C-alpha cells in the first residue's frame, strides 16, 4: 500500500546518515564519559564535547551555553522551574497557545510557589497582542519576570515577531524564554544576533533520534543556576546522570546535515505547502485555514492547519490512516486526550468546531507532491 507521511511536526524520519553514526558509536564507543582516567571514557567524553561544539557553531552560541536533555519537554521544564528557584522569578508571562510542557508547568509553578501568571491576549488568528503584553509587563514591573513565548507554534505554525518580543523584554528587564522546538534544525537561527535568554530544541523534529534534546542558556545566566537533577556533575552540574552519547552524536549529526542545505530545504517545503493549499482550495472552496498557517510571511512552511467540513468524528484521522495518509489533529503530546486542542479552541468559534474538524499537515524534506495528491484523493473520498 502506498503511504503518505505528513506528520513531521510530531516527529521526522531519521536520516540514514544519522542512523549510521549512532550505530558506529554504539559499537565502538561504550565507555562512560565521566570515566576520563582511561581511553574508553575519554573517547566517549570527546564525542559529547565535539557534538556540543558543533551545535554551538551552527546556532552561533558558545559550547558552555548548551546543555543536553532527554527531550524538549524536559528542557522547557528545566528553564521554567530553575527560573523560579534560582533566578527569583515572581511573574511569568506567556500565551494560551504554548505547548503543554510550558502551560502545565507554569500552572504547577503558580500553585506550588504562588507565582503570578498572566496570559497575553490574542489578536485575530492567534497573533500575539503586543500592546497587552506591554501592559502586563508594565503592571508587574516591580516583580522579576520571565516571558515564555514559542517561536513557531507546533499546531498552526504561527511565527512570533521576535524583534517586538525582544524589545519589550529588554525595556522591562524581563528574561525571555522561547520554545524553538519546531524551528531549530529546520531553519537557521543565530543566538548572538537574537536576544533569547533561553531556547529549547529536540532532535527528532529535525531528522534525528528521539529521547535527546538541548537547551541554550546565556552564559551569564547559567552561572546562577543550581542543579536541576542532582547526583553528579554532568552538564555543568545542571543535569546529573550519565549522558546519552548515542543520542547526542545523533542530534549533532542531524543538525549538521540540515544546516548544510537550509535554503534548498526551505524552498522545497514552501513549494509543497503552496501546492497543498491550492489543491485543498479546489476540493473545499470555502476552506478555513487555522491561524496564519496559510501565510508564507507569518508562519513556518512546515505546518498547515485547516478545518475540514465533517461531523465531529475523532475517527476522521483513523479513516485517513486506513487510506494511507498520516496526519494529525494537533500536538502529538495531547493525542491521547479526546478534548479539542487548546490551541484550536483559543482561535476558533464553538459553532465552527461543531461541524468541522481540524487537520494538521506538516511537511518534511522527504515529502513529494505525490504525498499531497494522496491526501487530496483521501479527503475527496471522505467528503463523498
Specify whether 333 is catalytic. yes
Query: Count of CB atoms within 10 A of residue 99's CB?
Result: 24
Q: Tell me phi and psi for residue 304, to 5 degrees.
A: -135, 125
State the maximum Cα–Cα separation within the chain, in Å, rounded to a whole number: 69
Q: What is the DSSP letter of 291?
A: T
Spell 197-211 as b/e; 16+ CB within 10 A means b.
bbbbbbbbbbbbbbb
Estimate the crossing angle of helix 130-139 against helix 162-171, to 10 degrees.
Answer: 20
- What is the rounded CA–CA span in Å between residue 201 and residue 204? 9
Residue 49: strand, helix, or coil? helix
Which residues in the chain belong to E strands, given as ranges? 4-5, 66-69, 91-94, 116-119, 145-148, 175-179, 198-202, 213-217, 288-289, 303-309, 325-326, 356-362
- What is the rounded CA–CA span in Å between residue 384 and residue 157? 29
Cβ contacts of 139 within 8 Å, gap of 6 or more: none
Could you say which of 169, 195, 276, 333 is catalytic?
Answer: 333
C-alpha cell at 160: 512570533
User: CA torsion sign, 304 to 306 to 311 to 314?
Assistant: positive
- What is the rounded CA–CA span in Å between residue 241 and residue 234? 6
C-alpha cell at 352: 465552527
Which residues are designated catalytic? 333
Amino acid at each position: 500500500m502506498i503511504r503518505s507521511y505528513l506528520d513531521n511536526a510530531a516527529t521526522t524520519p531519521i536520516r540514514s546518515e544519522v542512523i549510521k553514526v549512532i550505530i558506529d558509536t554504539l559499537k565502538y564507543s561504550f565507555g562512560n564519559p565521566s570515566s576520563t582516567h582511561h581511553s574508553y571514557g575519554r573517547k566517549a567524553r570527546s564525542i559529547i564535547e565535539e557534538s556540543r561544539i558543533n551545535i554551538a557553531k551552527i546556532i552561533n552560541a558558545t559550547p558552555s551555553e548548551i546543555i543536553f536533555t532527554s527531550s524538549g519537554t524536559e528542557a522547557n521544564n528545566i528553564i521554567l522551574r530553575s527560573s523560579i528557584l534560582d533566578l527569583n522569578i515572581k511573574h511569568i508571562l506567556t500565551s494560551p497557545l504554548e505547548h503543554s510542557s510550558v502551560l502545565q508547568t507554569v500552572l504547577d509553578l503558580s500553585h506550588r510557589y504562588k507565582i503570578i501568571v498572566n496570559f497575553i491576549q490574542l489578536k485575530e488568528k492567534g497573533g500575539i497582542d503586543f500592546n497587552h503584553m506591554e501592559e502586563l509587563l508594565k503592571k508587574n514591573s516591580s516583580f522579576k519576570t520571565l516571558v515564555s513565548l514559542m517561536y513557531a507554534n507546533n499546531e498552526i505554525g504561527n511565527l512570533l515577531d521576535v524583534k517586538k518580543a525582544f524589545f519589550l523584554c529588554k525595556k522591562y528587564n524581563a528574561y525571555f524564554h522561547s520554545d524553538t522546538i519546531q524551528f531549530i534544525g529546520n531553519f537557521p537561527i543565530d543566538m548572538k544576533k537574537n536576544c533569547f535568554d533561553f531556547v529549547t530544541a529536540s532532535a527528532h523534529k529535525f531528522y534525528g533520534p528521539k529521547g535527546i534534546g538541548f537547551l541554550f542558556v546565556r552564559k551569564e545566566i547559567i552561572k546562577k543556576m543550581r542543579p536541576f537533577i542532582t547526583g553528579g556533575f554532568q552538564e555543568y552540574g545542571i543535569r546529573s546522570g550519565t549522558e546519552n552519547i548515542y543520542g547526542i552524536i545523533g542530534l549533532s549529526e542531524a543538525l549538521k546535515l540540515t544546516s548544510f542545505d537550509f535554503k534548498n530545504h526551505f524552498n522545497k517545503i514552501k513549494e509543497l505547502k503552496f501546492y497543498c493549499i491550492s489543491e485543498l482550495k479546489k476540493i473545499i472552496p470555502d476552506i478555513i485555514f487555522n491561524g496564519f498557517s496559510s501565510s508564507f510571511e507569518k508562519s513556518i512552511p512546515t505546518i498547515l492547519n485547516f478545518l475540514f467540513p465533517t461531523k465531529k468524528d475523532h475517527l476522521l484521522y483513523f479513516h485517513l490512516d486506513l487510506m494511507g495518509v498520516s496526519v494529525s489533529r494537533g500536538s502529538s503530546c495531547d493525542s491521547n486526550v479526546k478534548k479539542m486542542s487548546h490551541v484550536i479552541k483559543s482561535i476558533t468559534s464553538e459553532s465552527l468546531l461543531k461541524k468541522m474538524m481540524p487537520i494538521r499537515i506538516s511537511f518534511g524534506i522527504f515529502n513529494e507532491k505525490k504525498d499531497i495528491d494522496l491526501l487530496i484523493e483521501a479527503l475527496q473520498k471522505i467528503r463523498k
